[in-house]
Amino acid sequence: MALPGDPPEGTPDGTGGGDDEFRSDEYRSVVFDEDFVRAARLQEYSAQERMGEHARAVRSRSIWSSSAPRTSTPGRGARQGMLLVLLIATAFAVAVYMGLRSPYVPPPGGHAQPLTSTVVPLAPTTAVPGGLPPELFAKSPAAGYRVGAAGISLPAVRRTQHFTDVQVVTALSIAKDYLVQSSLDPDVLAGSATRPVRVLLDPDQLEQFDRSMTSPSGDGRHAATGWLVRFDPATAVMADPRVRVSGSLAYEEVAQDVLEVTADHTFVYAVRPATGAPAAADGASLFTVRRELRLRFDRDDLSARRLELASAYVMAGPQDCSADPAGGFRPLLAGADPTTVGPAASDPYASGQPRRTAGLCGVLAPSATSGTPVSPAP
| pLDDT above 60: residue 65 | no
What are the distances in angstroms from CA 203 to CA 51, 221, 291, 304, 363? 80, 16, 23, 11, 37
Q: pLDDT band for position 342 (50/70/90)?
A: low
Give Dmax over CA atoms of the chain in angstroms: 175
Give, as one character, the DSSP assignment of residue 322: T
What average pLDDT does this structure show over 342-351?
64
User: Read out DSSP for 285-304?
Assistant: EEEEEEEEEEEEE-HHHHHH
pLDDT of 46 over the 80 cut = no
**Phi-psi domain of 121 (left: phi exceeds 0; alpha: psi -120 through 50; beta: other):** beta
- What average pLDDT does the structure give for the chain? 80
Is the pLDDT at 246 greater than 80, yes or no? Answer: yes
CB-neighbour burial class of residue 299 (10 A; exposed 0-12, middle 13-18, buried 19+): middle
**How confident is residue 8, by pLDDT bands cut at 50, 70 and 90?**
low
Name the band, by pLDDT with cuts 50, 70 and 90, for residue 348: confident
* 3-state helix, strand and coil shares in percent for the chain, rounded to the nearest 5: 30, 20, 50
With bands split at pLDDT 50, 70 and 90, how would you rate the model's confidence at 102?
very low
Give the pLDDT confidence of 128-173 residue by residue, as tens digits. 999 999 999 999 999 999 999 999 999 999 999 999 999 999 999 9
Cβ proximity of 260 and 251 under 8 Å: yes
Share of the chain above pLDDT 70, in %: 65
- In this structure, of 42-51, 117-126, 221-230, the range with the lowest mean pLDDT score is 42-51
Q: 225's torsion region: left (phi>0), alpha (psi -120 to 50) or beta?
A: alpha
Report whether pLDDT(62) > 70. no
pLDDT at 377: 37
Predicted pLDDT at 242 = 96
Q: For 203-240, how does the pLDDT look when each residue is reduced to its tens digit (9 = 90+)?
A: 999 999 999 999 999 999 999 999 999 999 999 999 99
| DSSP assignments along 144-205, one per residue | GPEEGGGG-PPPP----SSS-HHHHHHHHHHHHHHHHHHHT-HHHHTTS--HHHHTTB-GGG
Q: Which of 193-197, 281-285, 354-358, 373-377 has the lowest mean pLDDT?
A: 373-377
Distance, in Å, from the CA atom of 176 to the CA atom of 264, rounded to the nearest integer, reads 11
pLDDT tier at 283 (50, 70, 90 boundaries)?
Answer: confident
Strands 258-273 and 236-255: antiparallel
| Of residues 344, 303, 337, the one with CA closest to residue 320 | 337
Highest average pLDDT, of 82-96, 310-324, 340-354, comes from 310-324
DSSP SS3 for 245: strand
Residue 268, number of CB atoms within 10 A of its CB: 24
- Is the pLDDT higher at 96 or at 250? 250
Residue 92 scores a pLDDT above 60: yes
Rounded to whole angstroms, the Cα distance separating 285 from 267 reads 14
Cβ-proximal residues to 258 (8 Å cutoff; 6+ apart), any chain:
296, 297, 298
How does residue 104 score in pLDDT terms, banded at 50, 70 and 90? very low
Return the pLDDT at 108. 47
Q: Output the pLDDT for position 119.
A: 95
Q: Catalogue the E-assigned strands of the chain.
A: 116-123, 146-147, 236-255, 258-273, 285-297, 308-317, 345-346, 362-364
Sequence-ordered list of residues with C-beta below 8 angstroms from that of 366, at least 6 positions apart, any chain: 125, 126, 345
